[in-house]
Every structure is written in structure tokens, then in C-alpha cells.
Amino acid sequence: MEKSRFTIVSNRTVATQTHKLVLAAGDPDLLVGGEFVHLLIDGFYLRRPLSLCDREPGRITLLYKTVGEGTKALASLPEGTSLDVLTGLGKGFDPDACRESALLVAGGLGAAPLYLLCKELKAQGKQVIAVLGFNKADEIVLEDEFRALCDHVSIATLDGSAGTRGFVTDALAALQPSWDYFYTCGPAVMMKAVCQALDGPGEASLEERMGCGAGFCYCCTCETVSGAKRVCQDGPVFKKEELLW
């Protein structure tokens, strides 16, 4: 874990209640999709954990929903603002677990960490199919970015305003994709349904209210088949067989 000061390069709305934050990040201690950074926002006591969506030399991209007071305050910060950021947190997705062909299943902003994973999988020369679910068309994020990389992209919206009407599991049933390993990130209820629907190995990125984000306050504990685990440190990515789903 490292603490740094990163400067906001851009911070703008990309979909309904959704902001994209690009930070000039020097040479951060960041590795793979599924890892997160922990941001301190002026006027708020606890940090806010945000998944890494993309990284390029010298900069990182994060997506966040402006749902609470903290993220609303974050959304108001202009370019050039310096942020106190912890990096090197969490255990991310394992792109090596996939042999040849990966299935990515995202719900809402769960698409963010899967995008960085997608880049890594494609860099390894693997086939990637992405199924992205949203509530409605104006909440869709990263569709163009996934289409530019993936061998196939399916969109599902709950209200049918784009792609298949229904849940990601409906889109999966319609698509019948072939894959050897799956990766999922989104609301817990969605990931549980995905893990139950997919007959094969995979991993899921969990979310929990965090304190320190670095494994020492024990606030974000979850139960797994091998006992209590910390979402921030032992996860957020867990193998399907570790989860009680």
C-alpha cells in the first residue's frame, strides 16, 4: 500500500448519475483489474474505495455513481484538484485463470473493473465475450470501449431501452456463449444469480462498506467456505467456489 497525491485530469458525467474521473498518477503501485484505490475527499471522514477501470502510463481512470454525499462532493471537484489516494489495495481478477475464452458479466458500474481485465485478457490473446447489464439505456457505460476490444458484446437493460430486455442472466440464456472461465462484477444479487446460472469456473468481485481498505480494521468481513475473509484485502475478487452462493 502506498499513499500518494494524484491530480484530477478530468472529472465529468458520462451517464446518468455516473462520473468518470481521470487522475494523473505518476507511477502508482497498481496492477490488475479488480484492484481499487481509496480516495480521501475533503470534508468527509472515511475514504471512498473506487475500482480501477483503466490505467495508462501516468494516469488511471475510475468510474463512480454520484449517489451519496461523498461522491456528490467528489463530482464537484474541478480539474487540477489534488487528491490523497491510497493505492496497491485489494486482490484483483486473475486473467491467467482463463485458458482461451473468457466470459465477462457486468451489472452497472461492475463494468468498470471488468474493462481493465478485458484489456489484459486481450493482451494475452484470449477470446472475450462481454455481457453488460444496466437499468436503462442512459446508464450504459463503456459499451464502445468493450466493443472495440471484445469478440462479442451483449447489452441487457431492465426496461428494454437498449439490447435484451431483462437481466444479464436473460441475455446469457439468449446468447448461449462458449467460454472456459467467467468473471463477474455487479450487485451481489446479480452475481449470485450469475454464479448459479453458469456451469463452470469463475470469479466475482464483491462489494462491502469499507473502513481502512487495507485489511486491518475488519469492517468489510464476509463469510466464505473457508471462514471469515476481508473483502478489501482477501478480495474483493473471490473464486466462485469460495463463495457461499
User: Do β-strands 36-40 and 227-230 pair in parallel, antiparallel, or remain unpaired?
Assistant: unpaired
Q: Whose Cβ is closer to another protein: residue 108's or residue 163's?
A: 108
Cell numbers at 218, concatenated: 475488519
Cell numbers at 28, concatenated: 502508482
Q: Whose Cβ is closer to another protein: residue 88's or residue 201's?
A: 88
CA distance 162 to 156: 7
Q: How far is the CB of 86 from another protein (least distance, A)?
A: 7
User: Do β-strands 152-157 and 127-134 pair in parallel, antiparallel, or remain unpaired?
Assistant: parallel
CA angle 115, 228, 193 (to 5 degrees): 45
Q: How far is the CB of 89 from another protein (least distance, A)?
A: 10
Binding site for another protein (CB under 8 A): 1-3, 40, 44-47, 70, 84, 86, 208-212, 214-223, 228, 233
Q: Whose Cβ is closer to another protein: residue 127's or residue 233's?
A: 233
Q: Whose Cβ is closer to another protein: residue 117's or residue 191's?
A: 191
Cell numbers at 12, concatenated: 465529468
What are the residues whose beta carbons fall under 8 Å from the beta carbon of 57, sequence distance 6 or more? none
Q: How far is the CB of 236 from another protein (least distance, A)?
A: 13
Q: How far is the CB of 47 from another protein (least distance, A)?
A: 7
Q: How far is the CB of 2 from another protein (least distance, A)?
A: 8
Q: Whose Cβ is closer to another protein: residue 45's or residue 176's?
A: 45
Q: Which helix (H) or strand (E) holds 165?
A: strand 164-165
SS3 call for 118: helix
Q: Whose Cβ is closer to another protein: residue 163's or residue 213's?
A: 213
- For 79-103, letters b (16+ CB in 10 Å) and e give eeeebebbbbbbbbbbbeebeebbb
Cell numbers at 72, concatenated: 456528490
Q: How far is the CB of 228 from another protein (least distance, A)?
A: 5
CA distance 245 to 236: 16
Q: How far is the CB of 174 from another protein (least distance, A)?
A: 34
Q: Whose Cβ is closer to another protein: residue 43's or residue 78's?
A: 43
